Structures are given as structure tokens and as C-alpha cells.
Amino acid sequence: MRIAYQYRLRPTSSQIALMEQWLELLRKQYNYRLAERFTWWEQNRCPINACPFICHLPELKDRPDFYSQKRDLVNTKARFPEYQAIHSQVLQNCVERVHKAFDRWLKGDCNGQRAGKPRFKGVGRYRSLTFPQMKQDCIQGRFIHLPKLGAVKLVQHRPLPEGFVIKTATLTRKADGWYVTLSLQDSRVPELTPEPPTLENTFALAARSALGIDVGLDSFLVTDEGESVPVPRYYRKAELRLKRLQRALSRKQKRSNRRRKALKPLAKAHLKVANQRKDFHYKTVKKLVSKGKHIAYEALNIKGIAGTRLAKSAYDAGWGQFLQILAVKAERAGLRAIAVNPNGTSQSCASCGQKVPKGLSDRWHSCPHCGLQLSRDQNAAINIKYRAVGHPVLKAQEMSFTGVTEKPALFIATQRGATALAARFPSGCRRRSALLWHESGSMSLS
């Protein structure tokens, strides 16, 4: 099992100056190694849709990879002696970052998703450095001993868990100071990887072991049980102060000391909003996971919503970060975070399955077919749960959405389970019949 603990650092002025110097040198090295790869890529590629019949092929050069660029660090230290002050493994980690960023652009990650083109980092954009190896007794009292930096004062607000060993240490510069992130591992704790949903184990979730949530802007989320979590709106509340600080910054002359000083309070104000939002997400996820139920949610196209008039409110809610945290915490608890198709969850009735058209301003669901009366968001949450467990009331469709697909892999309800169960029971009273059929123990659909 791999976890991360972050602690606040209180370095001295000399240590801060040394770490700032390291970050600037690493930034230049990152840009240089990235430029090497871009140069090779431009000189050794030819578009297949616009290639002339007669063209001059230059002599192919060796492709710069992680190992060749790492070997070239010896020449870098010989030509630029200031790089000798940086720890060798920290310098190699800089090359590794270039390698990962370039490969994710051309090849994609382990899930086959390609990232954007890597960009050169400007001044102040390289904010962290990593020590790939650390001694297990590096923390002694109130200090942590880092290679070539010495003993740095540490604010250890919580002890390290027993049985975990320190693998890496990452120093990060934020607006309010320096932090160290320790990556801890305990091989004795097994990784909990739930099985992917099938027709058998998906319906086994049943109604009592799954929890459906509907995220929104009126309420942050509403569960299928009717529980509602209000939207905190941290950015909206801090908007006036951010406006004043931004106005003061814009009046300063660029590249001046006054502008540099005015930038710090603005960065701290933005960091406070981000920390408040993340803290709210973690606490909300903990309440959901503590119920011990598998959690189903809509795989929303967050980027598409962010391109509408609701952009500011959507970013203030932070759905993407919340769903990523939910997927990780649910997997560690041995539960599933199931993403379902969001189409029609608010328009369909959770009791009879008939479509009840509603506008965005209509917040109450009133079904003229079966007489169901409840909140629009709660009705959508119930439909989300039914889609996740393969309930026959809603026919789950094959999903071709662009939602949150970060690791760990999210589980998606399939159409096969819903179609088979829909053929098993008649259209009337499907929910009660399916529940009685599940409780009787008959799981055969043949």
C-alpha cells in the first residue's frame, strides 16, 4: 500500500536560498532536455499525408531517451560547475519528468489517454524537487535530514504510521512556504482491487449496498436517501478580496519589486480558497465512504459544463477533484466508485421509469403516471443508483462520454445487466419484483 504524508517545513534563510537556486537550475535543465527532444522530433518526422515524391532525407540522429540524457548529465556538470551542488538523484529526477511528460504526449499513459504537448517552464514555474531515496531515520525529533541541505525544521503535526517505510521525499514551494511530501509504503497491506462489474456481481450490490449521489450547483450533492450537502462557495465568498488584491497587482509596473511584493498576498488568498475546497472534499468523501456502500455517480462532461455560463460556479464546486478523491478513497476502503451515463437521470421517474420532461429551473419531480413526488436531485440520485446496480427500471446505455477517468479505473454500469433484467420482469412494479427476486437467491437469468 502506498500513501503520502505532507508536512510543513521551517527552513532557514540560507536553506531557502539554496533550494531556490536548485529550483532555478532544475528549471533550466528541464527546458534544455525538453528542447533536445523537440528538436529530434521535428528533424526526424515526415507527415504521411503531405510527403513529396522527391525529398532529401537528413541523416537520422539518435533519439534522446531517459538513459542517454541521464548519461549526458556528466557533461553538464563539467561545463556548468553550479550543477555539482545539486544532489545527483534530484538532477536525474528532472530528466525523468521530461521523459514522462514527452511520452504521455506521444504515447499516452497506462490507460491510453494522451496528455497535451509539454511546455517550457518560465521563471517560478518549476516548484518542486524530489529525492528518490531517503534514509528511514531521516526524521529525528523536530528536524528532517535531507541530502546536501542538512537538518531542516519540520512541523510534524501527525506521526508516521507504523510499518510504513519512506520511499521518496518531495520538496514543494507554495505561496505560504515550503512543504515536504513523504511517500510511504507498506508491502504487508494488500492492494484492494475490486472486480470489474459483471451481470452477476453488479446486481449483487442490490439497493441496500449501493449509494447514488447527484452532484450539482444548487446543492453540492444529494444522495438517494434524501441527504443534501450544501455548496460552500469558497471562491464566491473570497471574490471581493481577490478583486482588490488583483487590482492592486495590476497597477504595479511589471518586473518591479513592488509587483513582486503584491503578488504574494494574492497567491496566498488563492491558495487559501484551494485548501478550503480540498478540505471540504476530503471531509465529504469520508462521510460517504464511512457508510460502507458502493457509490454511484454521474460521469459528467465537466469540461463541457465549464464552457457555459455556469463555468465559475462549476469550478468553484470542484467536481473533478471531488470525484478523483472519491475514486481513490473508495478503492482503499474496498468499495467501488461507479460512473454511469448521465443522460436522462433527471428526466426519468425513479418509480415507473417514464420520462417526465423538466426544465433546469424545475427543482421538483412530480410524476403524472405513478404519482411520485420528491426532489428533482433525489430522483436523479435514485436513478443513478439503479443504473449502477443494473436495475431494470432504467435501461443503461453504452457510454461514450468524456468524464473523469483518472486512476484508479472507474467502474461503469453495463447495458447487458439492465437489458437482461428488463426482459426477466414485466414493465409494472419492476423495482419490487427485482428486489424480491434478488432476496430469494435466484441469480440465474437463463
What's the pLDDT score for residue 331?
Answer: 87
Q: What whole-number distance in Å separates Cα of residue 253 and Cα of residue 31?
A: 27
CATH number at residue 380: 3.30.420
Q: Are residues 155 and 294 both part of a single domain?
A: no
What's the pLDDT score for residue 445?
Answer: 32
Q: Are residues 338 and 412 both part of a single domain?
A: yes
Give 274's DSSP letter. Answer: H
The CA-based diameter of the chain, rounded to the nearest angstrom, is 81
What's the pLDDT score for residue 359?
Answer: 85
Instruction: Please check whether residue 266 is in contact with residue 183, taking contact to mean a CB–CB distance below 8 angstroms.
Output: no
Whole-model pTM over 0.85? no
Q: Are residues 37 and 92 both part of a single domain?
A: yes
Q: Are residues 347 and 420 both part of a single domain?
A: yes
Contacts of 407 (CB under 8 A, 6+ apart): 110, 111, 327
pLDDT tens digits, one per residue of 398-430 = 333 334 434 333 444 444 444 443 343 343 333
Q: Are residues 179 and 290 both part of a single domain?
A: no
What's the pLDDT score for residue 263?
Answer: 94
Domain count, the chain: 2
In a domain, 242, yes or no: no
Q: Are residues 168 and 209 both part of a single domain?
A: no
What's the pLDDT score for residue 432?
Answer: 34
In a domain, 130, yes or no: yes
Burial of 267 (0-12, 13-18, 19+ CB in 10 A): middle
- Please give the grid coordinates belonging to residue 30: 528541464
- Structural domain including 208 reads 199-234+280-439
User: By C-alpha distance, which of 278, 319, 18, 305 is closest to 147?
Assistant: 18
Enumerate residue ranges in the chain where pLDDT < 50.
198-200, 207, 392-446
Q: Are residues 205 and 92 both part of a single domain?
A: no
Q: Are residues 28 and 169 both part of a single domain?
A: yes
